[in-house]
Amino acid sequence: MDVTLRVEVEAVVAEIERSEGRIDVLVNNAGLAEDGAFWSISEESWERVLAVNLKGAMLCAQAVARCMARRGTGHIVNISSFAARQGTRGQASYAAAKAGLLGLSQSLAREWGAGAAAEIRVNAVLPGVLPTRMTRHLSAAALSEASAANALGRLNSVDEVASFVVFLASMKNVSGQIFQLDSRISSWT
């Protein structure tokens, strides 16, 4: 589905709820980066990156939260990025969108936490550099630099991140938190 189109998101969510009877967990993992110097970013590119990374998470969270509210519980995990905390040269739109996910996660955690009609937990995960389609263009030197920036000198695997997200989704008393899964030291904690 195209996460930037409300009609597609709502149709998929309705079909999942119809076929499965409920939705317990949403992982907002759609991501897009269009790298380039800030002064050369087109308005269309800026809007596309924010639409996929931030608007898509908003549309999916709204649609799924309705299902979760009927059951009185659920968990939304937003996949953000270290770029949200430190910024990344050539990725202003990506960093801005991923920082927006942090604010969205914490705002929704407060809105849907204690005293809300339904207890929907919302957290954000910063997985670190992973071997995915989004990073396949990175050179060996860039991957080595990313490894060296980690206190443990290594990158996470997709399986490690997936295991953490599954564990987090099972937690009943964790909401509004930001989990950085690699060992880069951030100046903003």
Q: Which fold has domain 6-180?
A: Rossmann fold (3.40.50)
Position 63 scores a pLDDT of: 97
Question: Rounded distance, CA 10 to CA 33, Å?
Answer: 25
DSSP β-ladder status, 25-28 and 73-79 = parallel
Output the pLDDT for position 14: 97
Q: How far apart are CA 5 and CA 10, in angstroms?
A: 9
The pLDDT value given to residue 7:
98
Q: Which two tokens stand for residue 61?
A: 């969270």
pLDDT in tens, 153-178: 667 788 898 999 999 999 999 999 99
Q: Which two tokens stand for residue 178?
A: 């930001």
pLDDT per position as a tens digit, 9-53: 999 999 999 999 999 999 999 998 888 899 999 999 999 999 999
| Confidence at 115, pLDDT banded by 50, 70, 90 | confident
Q: What is the pTM of this model?
A: 0.89
Catalytically active residues, by annotation: 94
Q: Are 176 and 122 in contact (CB under 8 A)?
A: yes
pLDDT reported for residue 138 = 61
- For residue 132, pLDDT beyond 90: no
Q: pLDDT digits over 49-94, tens only?
A: 999 999 999 999 999 999 999 999 999 999 999 888 888 788 899 9
Checking if the pLDDT of 185 tops 80, the result is no
